Amino acid sequence: MSRVGNQPISVPEGVTISRENGWVKVKGPKGELSQKVDTAFEVKVEDAEITVSRPTEQKRHKSMHGLYRSLVANMVEGVSQGYKKELELVGVGYRANVQGDILELNLGYSHNIYLQIPEGIKVSSEAPKGKNPTVTLEGYDKQLVGQVAAKIKSLRPVEPYKGKGIRFVGEVVRRKAGKTAAK
């Protein structure tokens, strides 16, 4: 029994769902998303609730049941509320600057890094005095927001000795002790 797959998804005001040719399309105030769903699975919309039901008890259908329900739930939440990720740049001289849809990062390398931000993502940077600069990503597609955040984070991974690098706001980094002097 799939505990996730059997839970109904509540649909907020202003969100419409349609199903055609194996695609589930969700439209809301923030945007429009679509996801391919196996035609054997039934996606019902009744009284501001969506339910996803599987056709049989086969192992393949059981494993996909919770996945499709989660994907549809993420689309509904994305087009109604949106998703947000905040990254913190920890290091001396690390800076971020946004010009249109290009993010310019100064991460201690010999050159600046220019990153093209995909359509559907809104990026902003902030550098308050006395604190680390932050980069905020906002969008309605959970997968795309997470992928862009992971790409930015991979440009300067956090190192365990000094803690320098790019991390999520609130992320805890395990620090290692450095070498100890001999005798």
CATH number at residue 131: 3.90.930.12
Instruction: Say what the pLDDT of residue 17 is.
Output: 92
Tally of residues, the chain: 183
Same domain, residue pair 88 and 62 = no
Same domain, residue pair 105 and 129 = yes
Domain that holds residue 66: 9-80
Q: At 153, which amino acid appears?
A: K
Give 180's contacts (C-beta < 8 A, 6+ positions apart). Answer: none
Read off the pLDDT of residues 80-112 as tens digits, 9 standing for 90 and up.
999 999 999 999 999 999 999 999 999 999 999
In the Cβ-directed half-sphere of 108, how many Cα atoms lie within 13 Å? 12
Domain final position from 80, 95, 129: 80
The torsion angles phi and psi of 92, rounded to 5 degrees, stand at -70, 125
The total of structural domains in the chain comes to: 2
For the entire predicted model, the pTM comes to 0.88
Give 129's contacts (C-beta < 8 A, 6+ positions apart). Answer: none
Instruction: Say what the pLDDT of residue 84 is.
Output: 96
Domain final position from 28, 52, 80: 80
Instruction: Say what the pLDDT of residue 179 is.
Output: 85
Instruction: Say what the pLDDT of residue 2 is.
Output: 58
Instruction: Say what the pLDDT of residue 47 is.
Output: 85
Residues of the chain with pLDDT under 70: 1-2, 181-183
Instruction: Say what the pLDDT of residue 51 is.
Output: 92
